[in-house]
Structure 1
Amino acid sequence: MAVDDMAELDSHIFAIVYPHTPRSTAGDDDLSFLGGEGDLAATILARLGGSPREDFQHLCATAAAVAQAVSDQGVPATPVAYFAASAAALAPLARAGAAGADPHVAGALLAFLSAALPALPAAVVRARGREVADDVMRVLDFPSTPDSGVRAGLRCLAHLISAGDRANWEALYTVILRLSTDHRPKVRKQSHSCLRDVLLSFQRQPILVPASEAITRSFERFLLLSGGSSSVNTGAAEEGPKGAKEVLYILNALICCLPLMASKPSNTILKYFKPLLDLHQPILTRSLLDILHAVAESPTLQLKSDVLLDLLCSLGLSVSSERKSGDEMASIARLLHVGTKKIYKQNRDICVVKLPLIFTSLGDILSSEFEEARFSSVEAFKGLIDHCIDETLVSQGIA
């Protein structure tokens, strides 16, 4: 079976197990739909047993083999039984190494395991998680493991961190973070989603700080390898200096991860945004705008108000000094709206000083030829006037 034929294997498993749950990003598995009630192997066989696709045939063969192993043991076909059987089948493949393991069987086992894990009692995950995680990480290191198997393995690791014994989280987390800059787009996307899920499970816990610092170190390392922010450009993804494309990949991860990170590591990353914005590279700017919009909308992340305000002012000034697309101008208007309100809430005094600049920038967007940008500017004007302008400012003539 070709590796590309398995590209959507994990998505089909998700649809089978959670048929009513939308999947907006890779790895968004709603555990409540499994609930330990269904027979996972039987469901897969019923839905995909007649498919001519070779990847589905591998999955069905794996499901049938796991079901037979459970039946031979004379135990009910529960998630715990399926987990034990699939983990037992994965172990010899992991020990066999890349040369001795059938990559498609390994990929199908990882996919099956990733579907069984969410239904397990927490006690089982804590008791068996470390052993299974070691096998999953070994298989993920096989160059021959299909992309779909790698994505399933990432979901396994994320769940084992979130629901398992936190004493050994770092090794698993390191694998997920390493694959956030993988050359395969779907693997990267899954890694970013898993990082987000892990950070979400770490909220309001001391462990969030080292997890966030690991992302910051990765970002800084690749920025250094690229020769600094001046070397990150639109050509970097294919031909730029070593580390440049990884910076872009990490920035994509930060769109969903930075709002969930601890404040100090987040502020460390934020200080690099100004020189990156000054490169005026559209791909880079778009990622930075998406990140800033996400953190501005975060109700919990506390960033340094002066640093964030400086970024907003820089973007606002760029409206009149640089040629921009309608989408970019609309995005800047929306960011000025939510970002200024966040800063006003954190530090009113420094915010009101820059309100004239913010309103002037919104006025420049309002006078543009782009309808969406004009609409976003009007909405920003209304929101900021309502939120930031009070009688004191009116009387001072600032408004």
Structure 2
Amino acid sequence: METLTAAQGGDDANIGAAILMRFTDPNNELDLEIRKLIVVLSGPFRGQNAPPPTPVTYLGATCSSLDVASGQMLDAHLTILSIVIPKVPAAFLITNLRPVFDSVARPLRSSSPIDQSTGCLVVKCIAQLFITVANVVSWSDVSELYSFFLDLANFDGFRVREQLHACLADVLQSFQGTPLLYLATKQITDLLNKYPLLVNYDENTSESVPSQEEKALFTLEVVNVSLSLLSTEDRTAVLVYYKSLLELNKFDVTSRISDGLYRLCLDPSADHSPQLLLDIVLSLCLFVTQHKIIPRTIASFLSAGVTKVYSYDRKMCEVNLPIVFDALKVILTSRGARKNHDIVPAFKCLINTCVDESLIKEGVHYVVINASVGDGIKSEPTVIENLCATIQSLLGYHRFHKDQTESQQSNRFCETQERFHNYKIWCRAFEIFSTMIDKLGPYSSYLMRGTLKTLADMHLLPHKEFPFKEKVELLLKKLVQICGFDAVIAVMPQEHKKLLVEINEMVSRPVEVIPQVLEATTVRVCKFDEDKARCKAKREMTKRMSDAAGMAKKMRLQV
């Protein structure tokens, strides 16, 4: 590589020792290569009067030998550079930016294939270069290098692209407060025009089209990283474009849009049109309910997006809550819900944030009016009544009998899977119902009367078919405590009176916290995983201490 311009710099005199302390596993080939390389690089400074090598020294020496490194030795060089570069003075890096960049980027420019781990290290080193010089460099000095960095969004390796997204976020954060930010984000949004999504895409037409489609999808991932840092005008333009893309009804596109907007909603400083955001929320709800396909972050986005809209315009948000609840119901009852751990928190967030006293009292008012007209013309269900009806439908046990009958016709494995799926739905539904009655308070007997009967019906089922009787009893007990025995028994059919009398006799005992009760069913697996993780962490800590001692004894290195 080009010779680096000499400079004094680097206050981290013990950086070599710090690197040696980080990589101590004698069974890890990369750790061994890193330690060997540190020993070689620090060799000329081992004299009694020689000063310890500085970060600048390690940078120059590592870049000089990087051009001929390969395999694990190449990864060792890049790992050391990723640690050393942030320690090097920015003035020195600016003077030597191009030669350092060319040296670091060489593995990705090579025609020879490289491991994804190597690609990730290159991305990390390039990002460290941008971050270190962000406050003192001009755009003309980094624009070409930044373009190469963004082009890695289309790199043929998932891990490298993921590393790019993480590092790009850090780079853009370092550009905040400088003229670099606007130019850097503008270059990202320009990618949407460079790689547009094809509306009439047909994967069977030719081999070149899927490549274009993939580049367009990768571009969406990069744009998502910068959404919260865009100007309000550019962000609005991107959201309008996203809204139009949802009309394609493609899962890969919808999933990436959901990911990006969820990330955007988590940033309280990002301004955007509440109406536009709500339109996108409703489009995603329609996609879920029509196609029954669940993007990974959809539940979290619906929760965060609706909460964001609610903070701008309460009324506009409330009238659309039933649509969002119906979409969340589809997510919860789908097979993919087992992997979507955000669904219960999403329900809880919307209940606690968007269900207010005015909604509840409006619902109670119309319930009383409709009850007084008997068989006459009744008003349409209110927003809160629709929400309560959705939650009640989650507890519908009739589906369980149907699924069980079908599963008995299949093999034992399928039957077990079917039972587990239904149990997971019920456990989550109980938790959501508990949150709703906490919110409704004494009005639960008015707005959830159908659910009260459903719970009592569940309690009559044989234990073999329904192993949640204890949870139902605790929920009924909680309802009696909140609403009063008279209010609850007034809406119950005659066949459930005896059960309520028994529940009322237990009310004198303190009610257990419902989330703890619900954990009794689902947490056994979680507790096992938690204990397993704790034991694994303990073993790794012990192993690491042992490895460090073994490495020191084995190699007897001195820095």
The reply to whether TM is greater than 0.5 is yes
Residues of 2 paired with 1:388 and 1:210: CA distance?
Answer: 47
Alignment of 1:237-248 (within 5 A): 240-248=209-217
Residues of 1 paired with 2:318 and 2:18: CA distance?
Answer: 62
2:302 corresponds to:
336
Alignment of 1:305-324 (within 5 A): 305-324=274-293
- Counterpart AA for 1:231: Y
Residues of 2 paired with 1:312 and 1:159: CA distance?
Answer: 36
Aligned partners of 2:12 and 2:55 also within 8 Å: yes
User: Higher mean Cα deviation, 80-89 or 65-74?
Assistant: 65-74
Aligned partners of 1:199 and 1:261 also within 8 Å: no
SS in 2 for 1:175: helix
Matched, 1:181 2:154: yes
Aligned partners of 2:240 and 2:276 also within 8 Å: yes
SS in 2 for 1:166: coil
2:189 corresponds to:
216
Change (3 A) 1:386 1:35: farther
Matched, 1:67 2:28: no
1:150 corresponds to:
119
Q: Sequence identity, in percent?
A: 23
User: Higher mean Cα deviation, 214-223 or 334-343?
Assistant: 334-343
Matched, 1:278 2:254: no
2:387 corresponds to:
none
- Counterpart AA for 2:318: L
1:333, distance to aligned residue in structure 2 (A): 4.5
- Counterpart AA for 1:103: S
Scaled by the length of structure 1, what TM-score is found?
Answer: 0.71
Aligned partners of 2:127 and 2:168 also within 8 Å: yes
Counterpart among 262, 269, 292 of residue 238 in structure 2 = 269
1:134, distance to aligned residue in structure 2 (A): 3.2
Gap runs ≥5 in structure 2:
1-9, 366-381, 385-559
Residues of 2 paired with 1:63 and 1:169: CA distance?
Answer: 30
Residues of 2 paired with 1:103 and 1:387: CA distance?
Answer: 66
Aligned residues: 344
Deviations 1:354-396 (A, max 9, x none): 531233432563586468646633431321235997999x99x
1:86 corresponds to:
62
Matched, 1:304 2:273: yes
SS in 1 for 2:147: helix
- Counterpart AA for 2:324: S
1:67, distance to aligned residue in structure 2 (A): 1.6
Deviations 1:142-180 (A, max 9, x none): 233543333222222212212214221212221221112
Matched, 1:103 2:70: yes
Residues of 1 paired with 2:357 and 2:129: CA distance?
Answer: 43
2:12 corresponds to:
36
Matched, 1:76 2:52: yes
Larger radius of gyration: 2
- Counterpart AA for 2:60: A
Residues of 2 paired with 1:36 and 1:42: CA distance?
Answer: 9
- Counterpart AA for 2:211: K
Counterpart among 261, 267, 284 of residue 292 in structure 1 = 261
Change (3 A) 1:247 1:46: closer
1:68, distance to aligned residue in structure 2 (A): 1.8
Residues of 1 paired with 2:358 and 2:146: CA distance?
Answer: 41
Aligned partners of 1:263 and 1:303 also within 8 Å: yes
2:351 corresponds to:
381
1:88, distance to aligned residue in structure 2 (A): 3.6
- Counterpart AA for 1:64: V
Residues of 1 paired with 2:304 and 2:46: CA distance?
Answer: 57
- Counterpart AA for 1:342: K
Gap runs ≥5 in structure 1:
1-33, 94-100
Residues of 2 paired with 1:43 and 1:255: CA distance?
Answer: 34
SS in 2 for 1:131: helix
Aligned residues: CA RMSD: 3.9
- Counterpart AA for 2:193: E
- Counterpart AA for 2:243: K
1:170 corresponds to:
143
